[in-house]
Structure 1
Amino acid sequence: MRMNQMIQFIKQLSGRVNSSMYASIQDQSNPQHISLLRQLQKEIKVKNSLDLSLKDLKVVVFDLETTGFYPQKGDTILSIGAVKVTGEKIEEDTFYSLVQSNAAVSPRVEELTGIKEEELRAAPPFSEVLTSFYQFIKGHTLVAHHAKHEQVFMQHATWSLMRANFDHRIIDTSFLMRIVDPVQKDFQLEECCIKCGIDVENRHHALGDAKMTAALWCYYLREIQALGFENLREVYERLAQM
């Protein structure tokens, strides 16, 4: 295993990330929201989900639409979408919100996401959205496709608003995919869904992508259990050997 992959697994096993590199302050900060966020952060206890049976594992699958890839260079979150999953069952409990912004949206981003500037100007401020999202996910393990993107933005957002680490474990769907199909090279969401017979709907909409990722997670959760894996610890142990 390459060193950067091993570091990623160690971070996953510890359930913590280091966000000391981020020091920028978001201009959207309501003192009441920040106070509640800090309280929610104190109450977060990363559960030991590593040994929980995969068929009983509760996760929140989420997706972010952003203006780019580098929050430390000024890119921001446009919307957050999420759906709860228990084992292989996608729940009806979902979360979606745009994030308030007065910045111009590039034509490419607007075309890709369908999000318009007037919608962002009327959306809730970021501190309010993040507070609501924290209340939705509680202490659940998070799942995302190409999770590094979501992880970096959540690290930056939490540190910017509260000067606190983002303490939720995030599992990348590709962790399961690498074990089930080690020769697969293309892990783009749309291509993976087509390969697995999952309908591609509302692409590049945060909730739409979250729902497709949830279906992908359930598909590979079934596959990984068919191979004899019973919990996340066994998944991480296998990945460490690859």
Structure 2
Amino acid sequence: MTLFNWFKKDKKNYPEFWQNYLACFESKSDKNNQKRFVVFDTETTGLDVRSDVILSIGAIGIFGNSIVVNDYLELFVEQSIFKRESVPIHGILKEGKEKKLTETEAVIQFLGFIKDSTLVGHHVRFDVNMVNAALQRMGLGKLKNRSMDTDLMYQKFKGLPEGQHSGLDELCRVFKIQKSDRHTAAGDAFITALVFLRLKNK
């Protein structure tokens, strides 16, 4: 089999959801005035991308300068890894009342939700890397979306040194944003969306 045919065959063997996701980036039409941002957050079993896994994903869409409240996603993932010591942080129990999906099912729904949107998060690289680790376990590539970090936006806005980071709680105090459902993926995504809009407008 030639190398060309191997690549051709490999592409055909991609699952349909992955092909649909990649197709979102193939359009060359100008969508600047219709740009969609998706602010998202993950709750995880820990901070090690190599060994920890996603417990939940919260995401919300933004068009222009408005949060679209019905453009919303919240997913809970079955806990193949359970760390009792992390429960006080995120509050997610191994056997809880929330409907839980397999990791694969959650990733498929997340990709279908974000499409080619610009991803926004506070310390977003960690969340992107956690999703990429899940994609790797599925034998797929990495996220192709552009991303923006509200911590880096704040650094630029305040002229802070590159290594001086700010927590989400601190930015809520600065912008007088009421914290609701803190340390849940959905709650943190909504709070981060409010912070993002304040920074974006400045």
Please give the residue correspondences for 1:78-227 in structure 2 after superposition, counting only pairs within 5 Å: 78-92=55-69, 93-107=71-85, 109-119=86-96, 123-183=100-160, 185-223=164-202
CA deviation digits over 1:119-149, x for unaligned, max 9? 3996111111111111111111111110121
Give the letter for the 1:113 counterpart: H
Taking only the aligned residue pairs, the percentage that are identical comes to 26
Q: CA deviation at 1:41?
A: 3.3
Runs of at least 5 residues in structure 2 that lack an aligned partner in the other structure: 1-13
Alpha-carbon distance between aligned partners in 2 of 1:120 and 1:95, rounded to the nearest angstrom:
17
Q: State which drifts further: 159-168 or 187-196.
A: 159-168
Q: What is residue 5 of structure 2 aligned with on the other side?
A: none
Aligned to 1:58: 36
State the one-letter code of the partner of 1:100.
Answer: E
**Letter of the 1:102 counterpart:** S
Backbone CA RMSD of aligned residues: 2.5
- Whether contact under 8 Å (1:46, 1:139) holds in the other structure is no
Q: Between Structure 1 and Structure 2, how many residues are aligned?
A: 186
Which one has the bigger strand percentage? 2
Report the secondary structure of 1:101's partner residue. Answer: coil
CA shift digits 1:5-45 (9 cap, x unpaired): xxxxxxxxxxxxxxxxxxxxxxxxxxxxx823322333230
Corresponding residue SS for 1:118: coil
Structure 2 CA distance for aligned equivalents of residues 181 and 57 of structure 1:
26
**1:119 aligned counterpart, secondary structure:** coil
Matches of 1:144 and 1:122 in 2, distance apart? 24
Gaps of 5+ in 1: 1-33, 224-242
Following the alignment from structure 1 to structure 2, what is the Cα–Cα distance between the partners of residues 51 and 43? 15
Give per-residue Cα distances to partners, 1:62-111, cap 9 Å, x unaligned. 00001111221x1000000000011221111110011012332322x101
How far off is 1:201 after superposition? Answer: 1.1
Report the CA distance between 1:222 and its aligned residue: 0.8
**Structure 1 residues 131, 172: CA separation in 2 closer, same or farther (over 3 Å shift)?**
same
Is 2:12 the counterpart of 1:35? no
Query: TM-score by structure 2 length?
Result: 0.82
1:186 Cα deviation from its structure 2 partner: 4.2
